[in-house]
Structure 1
Amino acid sequence: MSATGSTPEPRTAESGRGLVRRTPRQVSVARLAESGHVPRRGLGQNFLIDDNIIRVILAQLEGRPEDVVVEVGAGMGVLTRALVAVAGHVHAFEIDPSLVDSLHVSLAQPEGGLPPNLTLHLTDVLAADLEGLEPKPTLCASNLPYSIAAPFLAEAVWRLPTVRRYVVMVQREVAERLVAPSGSKTYGSLSAWMRLHTTLRNARPLSRTIFRPVPRVDSTLLTLERTAVDPLVECRPWFVRGVIDAAFGSRRKTWVNAMAAAGGLSKEALTAAGAEAGLKPGLRAEQLEPKEYVALARELLARGWTPPVPRTPLGRPD
């Protein structure tokens, strides 16, 4: 994809010296002010206003004209407009009904109406039928609302198997959790789950000034590439996620003790399953590699272990 045509020409304004050309950032800030919209902290709204970052996103996306992009948190449509200009189709999600009019103005074609290659989903993406999206998404590019970044990505990696790359802006602490290596302080159930589906390609720190309102936390632009997924993870995702969640149920306990506390099997049975999977019973959850959780899940599945419902908004067992 190219950034060409991603944003409209900066508008001009009257001044004492005549017409003054406004930068794309000034246009975005003005559009936000003109809309009268008050960003809702409860929805994690911090709107992107910087065209330079949009060009970086498009470059990292490495899309093709036939690609279908899913965007979460369309906001004022700044990124949406750029994606529509270069993608075959865009699925843009926005939960805030007060932004509908602004989005229609921002994305309107000269002849009126929304672009034909845009589907605007005015709903909560965490409650949406992602598997039913048509055409099927192949890329994801989003300024993810802080409040849903982690749960959305945890859902998307298995519910959108056709997405090969994610270029997303997230809170720095969330970014660290998403890509943390085993043994680190930030490695947790989310880290293990994400690393079973993706690998980190690039992480770029972002200035707070590219958002309005300016957030109180730092952000990171992450590029995640989909990797080959183990067949068990593909066929029984909630079982594998349940194993990971149970093992991380108490970080101060060994994985055996944590999973025994979750119920289903005794410590002895769990130790035996772990031995077959090549796991030492004295290790803690944060010391296990993602692939070791898959090996453990395979043994537990054979023994009829039932996982607790995963800790996700759409948590549902197999």
Structure 2
Amino acid sequence: MLNNVYSKSEISEYLKSKSIFPNKNRGQNFLCDRNIASNIANTVPKDILRGDYAIEIGGGLGSLSNVLVNIYKNNLTIVEYDNALYNHLKETYKDMNIIHNDILKVNINDIDKNKNFDVYGNIPYNIASPIIEWLFCDCYNRWNYAVFMVQSDFANRLIAKEGSEDYSALTLFASFMSDIKLEYNVSKEVFYPIPKVTSSIISIKPKEVDLSMLNIFKSVSKTLFHNRRKTIKNNFLKSPYIDIDKYKIDEILEKANIDKDIRGESLSIEKVKELSLIIKDYI
């Protein structure tokens, strides 16, 4: 039994006793700081009501679960993919709803189809983008607020400004679907084992969006960054994401008052929305 989930020495001994070897590809660097865990759980602003329940993605050893269970009581569901960590969580939280599965394969309606929820998690880099898409698309109009710990590089991509190196189709999609805030960065030293990269805490509040525009907006965004060194016109000519008569591209860009020879990274989120609305009439 792991008595102190915030003690590196106890974690080390516990993992050895259970023959658990942290998997870097799954982001298994365990948070060992109680204050940071508490801050993550209490990031939801006071003017926003918490969801009816919470989902934690990847409970790990339970450093964040330990705080969330005191806030949400029995209205907490933990989804853990790793078999050894799932068994640990089942042993630790005997009365808690713990699902042994990949979060991307979980049907939210199987948890509770009538209630909205908050989402928390320490998200590995290699599945961060799919989880963001899962949250925005599969869980649309169901989630209330999300707080994630992600690699700082990924956080910077989500909140990047037009014209910057980190600005991308992901930035546009995230901005279209939500308001994202970088709360603070987290030192590598508060994890076991210590990762090579810095982490950041981000909060995400959903927006109400026109769902009829979602697929068009995503396709336009991916097209603009299909080859980020190419001009907007060239990207539309060679885009695998959207099918537009190549003889209409100049006309579309002129209607949107966009220079065909600039790059996609120059367009603001509002300009991409405007362009998407115009393109809707051509496809």
Shift, 1:171, TM fit? 0.5
Q: How does 1:87-102 map to 2 (within 5 A)?
A: 87=72, 89-102=75-88
User: Bigger CA drift: 234-243 or 165-174?
Assistant: 234-243
Shift, 1:23, TM fit? 8.5
Contact 1:171 1:218 in 2 (8 A): yes
Deviations along 1:210-245, whole A, 9 cap, x unmatched? 22211111111112222343x1xx234233212111
Amino acid at match of 1:36: S
Equivalent residue number for residue 121 of structure 1 = 99
Distance change in 2, residues 1:210/1:200 (3 Å):
same
Amino acid at match of 1:139: D
Amino acid at match of 1:127: K
Q: How does 1:191-270 map to 2 (within 5 A)?
A: 191-229=171-209, 231=210, 234-262=211-239, 264-270=243-249
Normalising by structure 2, we get a TM-score of 0.86
Give the distance between the partners of 2:24 and 2:118, measured in 1 at CA.
27
Equivalent residue number for residue 105 of structure 1 = 91
**SS of residue matched to 2:259:** coil
Give the distance between the partners of 1:291 and 1:127, measured in 2 at CA.
33
Give the distance between the partners of 1:176 and 1:276, measured in 2 at CA.
32
Amino acid at match of 2:135: A
Shift, 1:30, TM fit? 5.0
**SS of residue matched to 2:54:** strand
Distance change in 2, residues 1:270/1:127 (3 Å):
farther
Equivalent residue number for residue 261 of structure 2 = 282
Give the distance between the partners of 1:169 and 1:235, measured in 2 at CA.
31
Aligned residues: percent identity?
A: 23
Q: Which runs of 5+ in 2 are unaligned?
A: none
Normalising by structure 1, we get a TM-score of 0.77
Shift, 1:38, TM fit? 0.7
**SS of residue matched to 1:61:** coil
Given the alignment of the two structures, is residue 272 of structure 1 paired with residue 251 of structure 2, yes or no?
yes
Given the alignment of the two structures, is residue 79 of structure 1 paired with residue 58 of structure 2, yes or no?
no
Give the distance between the partners of 2:262 and 2:247, measured in 1 at CA.
15
Shift, 1:34, TM fit? 4.0
Contact 1:28 1:78 in 2 (8 A): no
**SS of residue matched to 1:215:** coil
Give the distance between the partners of 1:274 and 1:65, measured in 2 at CA.
43
Give the distance between the partners of 2:234 and 2:158, measured in 1 at CA.
25
Equivalent residue number for residue 42 of structure 2 = 59
Distance change in 2, residues 1:85/1:35 (3 Å):
farther
Give the distance between the partners of 1:303 and 1:194, measured in 2 at CA.
25
User: Bigger CA drift: 203-212 or 257-266?
Assistant: 257-266
Give the distance between the partners of 2:6 and 2:32, measured in 1 at CA.
8
Distance change in 2, residues 1:301/1:41 (3 Å):
same
Contact 2:169 2:225 in 1 (8 A): yes
Distance change in 2, residues 1:131/1:284 (3 Å):
farther
Shift, 1:66, TM fit? 5.5
1:157 pairs, out of 136, 144, 147, with 136
Give the distance between the partners of 2:266 and 2:184, measured in 1 at CA.
27
Give the distance between the partners of 2:109 and 2:271, measured in 1 at CA.
28
Shift, 1:61, TM fit? 2.3
Query: Aligned-pair RMSD on alpha carbons?
Result: 2.5
Q: Which runs of 5+ in 1 are unaligned?
A: 1-9, 12-21, 109-113, 305-318
Give the distance between the partners of 2:16 and 2:270, measured in 1 at CA.
49
Give the distance between the partners of 1:267 and 1:254, measured in 2 at CA.
14
Distance change in 2, residues 1:42/1:300 (3 Å):
same
Give the distance between the partners of 1:133 and 1:182, measured in 2 at CA.
38
Equivalent residue number for residue 42 of structure 1 = 25
Contact 2:59 2:80 in 1 (8 A): yes
Amino acid at match of 2:65: T
Contact 1:240 1:297 in 2 (8 A): yes
2:7 pairs, out of 25, 30, 47, with 25
Shift, 1:33, TM fit? 4.4
Shift, 1:288, TM fit? 1.0
Shift, 1:65, TM fit? 6.4
Give the distance between the partners of 2:146 and 2:118, measured in 1 at CA.
6
